[in-house]
Amino acid sequence: MKQDQEESFSGRFQIRIYPETHKVLSEYARAVNGSMSGVIELALGHCLWDEEFRSYADDYFNGTLIVVENGMPKAHLVRRNFLSYVEIDLETVNISIRVLQGSVWKKWSFNADLKQNPTLLEKLKSWSR
């Protein structure tokens, strides 16, 4: 498909949900004199514009990671604030993230020991794709 052509959507898609969720959804739709499709569309529309939900979804799908130094937390990494990383040597990686200070986003870089954070490099590589 050419980049300048907009993809068309039918407005239909199938989802799989837990039977209990299906039951609660059906009961709620009935209680408000609506349809399950209407409730889902309203909920999705609300959630997709809600920054708190978008942050939660990003963390849920991409994970978070606590970087430790000497057994103590040094940084809490989330993909949406991750900027880049550079492998300094086989044991050290330099990580750049953005941090909100007041109403201004600032860049912060720090080194992390890969021996103390054995899953860190794999996570950073997945966030860089």
How far is CA 64 from its chain centroid? Answer: 8
- For the residues 23-29, what does the mean pLDDT come to? 97
Alpha carbons 62 and 127: distance in angstroms, whole number: 8
Instruction: Check residue 60 and give its pLDDT.
Output: 92
Considering the entire predicted model, what is its pTM? Answer: 0.68
pLDDT digits (tens, 9 = 90+) for 58-116: 999 998 999 999 999 999 999 999 999 999 999 999 999 998 889 999 999 999 999 99
Interacting residues of 55 by C-beta distance below 8 A, sequence separation 6+: 78, 80
